[in-house]
Chain A
Amino acid sequence: MKQNARDIEEASRLMNRRGFVVGGLQLAFMGMLGLRMRQMQIEEADQYRLLAEENRVNMRLLAPPRGLIFDRNGVIIADNAQNYRIIVVREDAGDVDDVIAKLQSIVELDNSELERAIREMNRRSPFVPVTLADRLSWEDFSKVAVNTPALPGITPDVGLSREYPMGEDFAHVIGYVGPVSDFDLNRIDDPDPLLQIPKFQIGKVGVEAKLEQDLRGKAGNRRIEVNAAGRVMRELGRDEGQPGADIQLTVDYRLQNFVQTRLKGESAAAVVLDTTNGDILAIGSAPAFDPNKFVRGISGPDYRELTEDIYRPLANKTVQGTYPPGSTYKMVTALAALEEGLVSPDETVWCPGHYQLGRRRFHCWKRGGHGWVNLQKSLVQSCDVFYYDVSQRVGIDKISAMANKLGLGIQHDLPMSAVAEGLAPTQAWKRARHGEGWRVGDTLNASIGQGFTLSSPLQLAVMSARIASGNAVSPRLIRAQGGIELPQLSAQPLDISARSLRMIRQAMHNVSNGQRGTARGSRIVAEGMEMAGKTGTSQVYSITAAERAAGVRSADDLPWDKRDHALFVCFGPSEAPKYAVSVVVEHGGGGSRAAAPVARDIMLFAQYGGIPPLEAYPSSQRERIRTMYEEMVLRDPVSPQNAKSRA
């Protein structure tokens, strides 16, 4: 195309003008980009930096190892066992079904657990580790570990889980742990982030629950760098947290084991106290259960079996169960009367077998009557009429004040679940509770531990320890915490005259050893090891006239749950008391027959520190006793593993 020079000049000028416009626009746009950079990187930098941190750093909690629980000798009761698990990462596994099939050819996997794992796997990101199986045996675990090269995505892993090597023995004392439930989260107002860890174990009952804060420890954390998909890239820092404090109980595991074994087959409770300092040496409730089942998550049928059992295995009868103390309460009434000076040691009361109060007749357990009865005889032969008479002079409020002084009807501060207060009734109490006045008949019933009166086996043991020592002994369950011995509560002398106490102790000695003593059948014949006790048989049901007519003569003819409770309290050796024992056998019948022999065996085991020699028993009983011990299966001694040496 032809172009002349002037046109070219003009076109060139136009082009450069346009070039300037375009260049200017480009410059303006770059200026805008620069301003945008300024805005984002200088003015809003902090905000973006914050977002970046959130993007990058992720906190993972580290569960601290839970504090261990030891017996008084340093033998482990609650342990953290290694929990062998198999973990799978879907992404690394490739063909998950194939890998699981291979795994199943090596070890047996629980089908329901497997289904749950597969569901979880499909729900979550492919790189999230999912537990395929846990609580594997070491054999299975090592089989998997050896075969990991053939099992892509499968990792054998070790975690910690609570284990109770003593099984049933300490079920009621230390309770058990279990995974945090929604119920727990609502119940306890605890901001501890540890509780949010899936499957984190917390104490549910017993010491595990009561000392949860100490046992749990402090959460550690792992700061990890994650990428956008949440995959862990590297660890930025780690804070191990603080392991839970170890706890040492006052309980002796062998005595506890013996108590549990001895009570087996009954619905019963027994407590052994050190009379000098209140240490709880054994505190057994039967039947018991295996706390390990709860840690693993108890199955529906197993749990139903426990709740439907009429012997109530889940209840801790030692502190939670309250029973009419029956004749074991007579020491209270007797001491109240002695201290008030309302009865003298020589004073006698005529027992014709019953006591007439107005138009109401109160029976003595011995229908034929005890004849002339003084205080000694009233305890030794457990005459009721004596107390019907004396209690009216003392009055219920004085009796209950004495009961409180001896540790009955008051709450003892122990880290156990549902520690019952029991009841030592007063006039004011009845008015408040029932809205009616106290009647003399109520006093008569209360004087022999019936009626409104209620005590727990622990309280009865405290009572006998206080009578034995003359000091206000308080029960103690925790000996040391975090390796530091807890101070023993210095027991103040009881405000009871030595003379009165001596008289009661003498009477109790005669209950067990006297010719006419109600517990003579359960006496100890070993020199210097004799015990002093008191039987109790508390009525839970009155045989009706109709039943009597139908031939029901004694409790043995009644259905189990209507029979009398059998009780026995004792201390020994009676000359220099060291141990106080209480035994309650629910619906066991008579105290002398059902409770006293149990208490004697426990007392002997405590004194000898093991199975007592047959020589301690009256010769006529030795054959029977030997058979009993031969049939008894006790735990083998365990070497102590002291908390301090562990740390």
Chain B
Amino acid sequence: MSFLEYRLKTVPTGARKVLFLNWALILLLIAVASIGFLMLFSVAGGALERWAEPQMQRFVLGLVAMFIVAMVPIWFWRNVSGLAYIVSVLLLVAVEFIGVTGMGAQRWIDLGFMRLQPSEVTKITLVMILAAYYDWLDPKKVSHPFYVLLPLVLILIPTALVLNQPDLGTAILLVAGGGIVMFIAGVSWWYFGVVIAGGVGLVTTVFTSRGTPWQLLKDYQYRRIDTFLDPSQDPLGAGYHITQSKIALGSGGFSGRGFMQGTQSRLNFLPEKHTDFIFTTLAEEFGFLGAISLLTLYGLIIFFCIVSAISNKDRYSALLIYGVAAAFFLYFAVNMSMVMGLAPVVGVPLPLVSYGGSAMLVLLVAFGLVQSAHVHRPRGR
């Protein structure tokens, strides 16, 4: 077992762990979150208390959580991976019965102090269980059909539950995130080829099912797909969100209209301006420079994660870091593609920027795991 390989004496202990945190990553996270506060302040029309303040409180809470998680040795987290996964799946089941309906989907459990979105939690616990699984599995057996089927089931259980909510965005993120972990773990290219082929087949089936009694997606999801293919066909109806979003984004130009000067987002042209579409406000007010800066910050976060993963000899830790980085990447990649008209509107928030407690807390806890893996990595020979 690989953790026996650790030279535990070289791993920092106690308060010294703080010095061994990946500070660059933490600063990057703070930078991205700060952009988020700024934008939430702006879309609220200069009101702090509406969105920016609660978001700051949650971020501070999240940072504390991140530090606590980072202090706990990574092997503890590996040991609880299975449990975490089971709890999160149970929460997904629970949300079916006691969930709060919002935006046409059942997604929240009201915990009193915050609204928990189990689907967000699942994104991380799935990565954890897959990393633990591949850490346990003999690397020679990763491409064995049985050992490929097992993680697939692990992925598809929460995916099915999330799709049932229905939350297409999270479902895509789960499948893609899980798939990336499997790929990095070394599963044969063949499987991916087959899955992609199967995916194409599924898409075809989904479209042929349209209008029949066994229709696979909700009408609104079909309409969103239609709109994605040609937003101009219904600029005030189904294609409205994406058209307005593109107008706001494009009109920002190179340097933007200036802070608080965005006209499109402020005038309610944009739907969900403080959540999924917050990037358009940034792009409108700070222009290309602002947008590319945020993208660069995101890119640096991914970069530092990958560097940390490569330098980590522990299989669980490395896979976990790759997995968190992949999940994080999928968040902003899908969100940005969506608001720029490259992908259907599926309801994926912009990580650390969009208003929303669950996603932010979960992400910061996930980065806490990354920090823990970084701090407790095996060193030397």
Hey, which bits of chain A sit against chain B, CB under 8 A?
1-3, 7-8, 10-12, 14-16, 18-19, 21-23, 26-27, 29-30, 33-34, 36-38, 40-42, 44-45, 47-49, 51-52, 55-56, 225-229, 233
The answer on a CB contact under 8 Å between A37 and B251 is no
Bound form: Cα–Cα A29–B329 in Å: 10
9 extra A-B contacts, CB within 8 A, seeds A22-B183, A34-B292: A16-B310, A19-B310, A33-B340, A34-B295, A38-B292, A41-B254, A49-B253, A228-B268, A233-B267
Bound form: Cα–Cα A48–B341 in Å: 14
Listed A/B pairs (14) with beta-carbon separation below 8 Å: A12-B313, A16-B318, A18-B185, A22-B322, A23-B303, A23-B306, A36-B340, A37-B283, A37-B292, A37-B295, A41-B250, A41-B291, A55-B244, A228-B267
Which A residues are in CB contact (< 8 Å) with B310? Answer: 16, 19
Q: A19-B306, A26-B302 are in contact. Are A56 and B291 (CB under 8 A)?
A: no
Which A residues are in CB contact (< 8 Å) with B267? Answer: 55-56, 225-228, 233
Interface of B is mostly: helix
Q: What is the distance, in angstroms, from B183's C-beta to the closest C-beta of chain A?
A: 6
Is B44's CB within 8 Å of the partner chain A?
no
Which of A2, A8, A40, A49: most chain B Cβ within 10 A? Answer: A40
Q: What is the distance, in angstroms, from B266's C-beta to the closest C-beta of chain A?
A: 8
Is B12's CB within 8 Å of the partner chain A?
no
Which B residues are in CB contact (< 8 Å) with A30? Answer: 295, 298-299, 302, 333
Q: What is the distance, in angstroms, from B302's C-beta to the closest C-beta of chain A?
A: 6
Bound form: Cα–Cα A229–B268 in Å: 8
The answer on a CB contact under 8 Å between A45 and B186 is no
Q: What is the distance, in angstroms, from B303's C-beta to the closest C-beta of chain A?
A: 8
Hey, which bits of chain B sit against chain A, CB under 8 A?
2, 5, 136-140, 180, 183-186, 240, 244, 246-254, 263-264, 267-269, 283, 287-288, 291-292, 295, 298-299, 302-303, 306, 309-310, 313, 315, 318-319, 322, 326, 329, 333, 336-337, 340, 342
Q: What is the distance, in angstroms, from A397's C-beta to the closest C-beta of chain B?
A: 74
Which A residues are in CB contact (< 8 Å) with B244? Answer: 55, 228
Q: A18-B186, A233-B267 are in contact. Are A41 and B287 (CB under 8 A)?
A: yes
Q: A15-B186, A233-B267 are in contact. Are A41 and B319 (CB under 8 A)?
A: no
The answer on a CB contact under 8 Å between B253 and A11 is no
**Contact partner, A11, options B246, B268, B315, Cβ 8 Å:** B315
Bound form: Cα–Cα A30–B329 in Å: 9
Q: A14-B186, A41-B254 are in contact. Are A55 and B269 (CB under 8 A)?
A: yes
Which B residues are in CB contact (< 8 Å) with A15? Answer: 184-186, 315, 318-319, 322
Bound form: Cα–Cα A49–B251 in Å: 4
The answer on a CB contact under 8 Å between A45 and B2 is no
Select from chain A the residue with minimum beta-carbon distance to B139.
A11
Which B residues are in CB contact (< 8 Å) with A18? Answer: 183-186
Which A residues are in CB contact (< 8 Å) with B138? Answer: 1-3, 7
The answer on a CB contact under 8 Å between B326 and A22 is yes
Select from chain B the residue with minimum beta-carbon distance to A46.
B253
Bound form: Cα–Cα A226–B269 in Å: 9
Select from chain B the residue with minimum beta-carbon distance to A14.
B186
The answer on a CB contact under 8 Å between A45 and B253 is yes
**Contact partner, B250, options A1, A19, A33, A48, Cβ 8 Å:** A48
Which A residues are in CB contact (< 8 Å) with B292? Answer: 34, 37-38
**Contact partner, A44, options B250, B264, B315, Cβ 8 Å:** B250
Q: A22-B326, A27-B299 are in contact. Are A45 and B252 (CB under 8 A)?
A: yes
Select from chain B the residue with minimum beta-carbon distance to A226.
B267
The answer on a CB contact under 8 Å between B251 and A51 is yes
The 6 closest A-B pairs by CB, nearest first: A48-B250, A11-B139, A52-B251, A41-B288, A45-B253, A227-B267
Q: What is the distance, in angstroms, from B327's C-beta to the closest C-beta of chain A?
A: 12
Which A residues are in CB contact (< 8 Å) with B240? Answer: 228
The answer on a CB contact under 8 Å between A19 and B309 is yes
Which B residues are in CB contact (< 8 Å) with A47? Answer: 250
Q: What is the distance, in angstroms, from B179's C-beta to the closest C-beta of chain A?
A: 10
Select from chain B the residue with minimum beta-carbon distance to A32.
B342
